[in-house]
């Protein structure tokens, strides 16, 4: 039995679809099962609630030997670190009680490099807490997710621009959620691996933000510019949209760390065997329909 968290999220739903296609037995944990597609409700066991609830997680993991793990964001949390711990501690307890043998999680690039990096530091600390249990563990480590641009589809459509808090002349590595979902499912279906390791998930491109804007322009057939945002602007925007002070500060720290420490940059080698989707392909198949409606 495989337990899947965040089955309605961008990555979790990809994992679920791959697992169902393989006829694997899966159990999903969903706060709102009504958001699950009909084919998931019909073919997977569904547990209603949050995987930060220790009792519910223990119930969901009963009889399961593999878990797909992802801590969802909470823009209203009072503490980024406490938010990640609230999800990590129940899983550590479930593993200690026995049964779960393998965990595949979504983490980030930057292990051993990232310092004072907000959500990135908290995510890496989550990995370390889970690995301390001794469970067989694979942490999928992507850089910037292409899907982050979908939230700016309106700006691209109406203003011909998108914002990135990154130097326009420096390479920004990228990855897609569908490649993450496919690799997570592959690992969950493979019972031969042991030990603990990071799995870098870096797409095939060598693009700067300016290069990304050029690609978007070519795909859309219109000029699209990239505007560089500062961490302060990013923080102010998040606060304006209702994020807590802690969450907005964590995003600002993450933005500064990415710029200053460069662990999403050119020094991270691509892994096209695991993350084959190019930025152009993603723009053609996902961004273009979202922008043009």
pLDDT in tens, 98-126: 889 999 999 999 988 878 889 999 999 99
- Asked if residues 100 and 78 have their Cβ atoms less than 8 Å apart, the reply is no
Q: Among candidates 8, 93, 99, 15, which has minimal Cα distance to 56?
A: 93
Q: What percent of the chain has pLDDT over 70?
A: 100
Per-residue tokens: 145 = 């997710």
Q: Using CA atoms, how far apart are residues 117 and 107, in angstroms rounded to an integer? A: 13
Contact at 8 Å (CB) between 268 and 173?
A: yes
Q: How does residue 216 score in pLDDT terms, banded at 50, 70 and 90? A: very high
Instruction: State the pLDDT confidence band at 168, using cuts at 50, 70 and 90.
Output: low
Q: How much is the pLDDT for 234? A: 83
Which of these ranges, 43-47, 165-169, 216-220, has the smallest mean pLDDT? Answer: 165-169
pLDDT band at 230 (very low <50, low <70, confident <90, very high): confident
- For the chain, how far is it from start to end, CA to CA, in angstroms? 39
Token pair 């999928």 is found at 140
Asked if the model's pLDDT at residue 166 lies above 80, the reply is no
pLDDT for the residue 189: 97
CA distance 103 to 91: 10
- 71-87: pLDDT as tens digits: 999 899 999 999 999 99
| Average pLDDT of the residues in 56-67 | 95
pLDDT at 104: 98
Given this model, what pLDDT does residue 30 score? 96
Structure tokens at 180: 């993450």
Q: Average pLDDT, whole number, for the chain?
A: 94
**What percent of the chain lies above the pLDDT cut of 90?**
82
pLDDT (0 to 100) of residue 208: 95
Domains of the chain: 2-142+176-200 (3.40.50.720)
Model confidence at 266, in pLDDT bands (50, 70, 90)?
A: confident
Question: Per 3-state DSSP, what percentage of the chain is helix, strand, and coil (rounded to 5)?
Answer: 45, 15, 40
Computed on alpha carbons and rounded to an integer, the radius of gyration of the chain in Å comes to 19
Q: Which of 211-215, 261-265, 285-289 bottoms out in mean pLDDT, i.e. has the lowest?
A: 261-265
> E-assigned strands of the chain?
2-4, 26-30, 45-48, 66-69, 102-106, 136-141, 144-145, 161-164, 174-175, 196-200, 225-228
**Residue 172, CB-side half-sphere exposure with 13 Å CA sphere:** 22
């Amino acid at each position: 039995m495989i337990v899947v968290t965040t089955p309605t999220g961008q990555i979790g739903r990809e994992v679920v679809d791959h697992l169902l296609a393989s006829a694997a037995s899966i159990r999903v944990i969903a706060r709102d099962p009504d958001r699950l597609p009909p084919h998931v409700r019909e073919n997977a066991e569904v547990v209603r609630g949050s995987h930060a609830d220790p009792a519910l997680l223990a119930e969901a993991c009963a009889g399961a030997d593999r878990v797909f793990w992802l801590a969802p964001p909470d823009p209203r949390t009072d503490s980024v670190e406490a938010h990640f711990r609230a999800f990590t501690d129940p899983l550590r307890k479930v593993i200690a009680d026995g049964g779960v043998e393998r965990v595949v999680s979504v983490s980030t690039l930057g292990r051993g490099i990232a310092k004072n990096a907000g959500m990135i530091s908290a995510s890496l600390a989550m990995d370390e807490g889970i690995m301390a249990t001794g469970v067989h563990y694979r942490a999928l480590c992507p850089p910037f997710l292409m899907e982050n641009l979908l939230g700016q589809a309106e700006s691209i459509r109406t203003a011909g621009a998108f914002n990135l808090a990154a130097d326009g002349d420096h390479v920004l590595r990228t990855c897609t959620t569908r490649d993450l979902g496919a690799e997570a499912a592959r690992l969950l279906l493979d019972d031969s691996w042991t030990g603990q390791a990071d799995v870098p998930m870096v797409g095939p491109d060598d693009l700067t933000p300016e290069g990304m804007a050029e690609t978007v322009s070519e795909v859309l057939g219109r000029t699209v510019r990239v505007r560089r945002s500062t961490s302060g602007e990013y923080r102010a925007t998040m606060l304006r949209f209702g994020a807590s002070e802690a969450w907005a500060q964590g995003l600002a720290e993450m933005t500064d760390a990415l710029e200053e420490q460069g662990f999403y940059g050119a020094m991270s080698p691509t892994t096209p065997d695991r993350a084959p989707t190019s930025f152009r392909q993603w723009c053609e198949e996902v961004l273009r329909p979202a922008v043009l409606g």
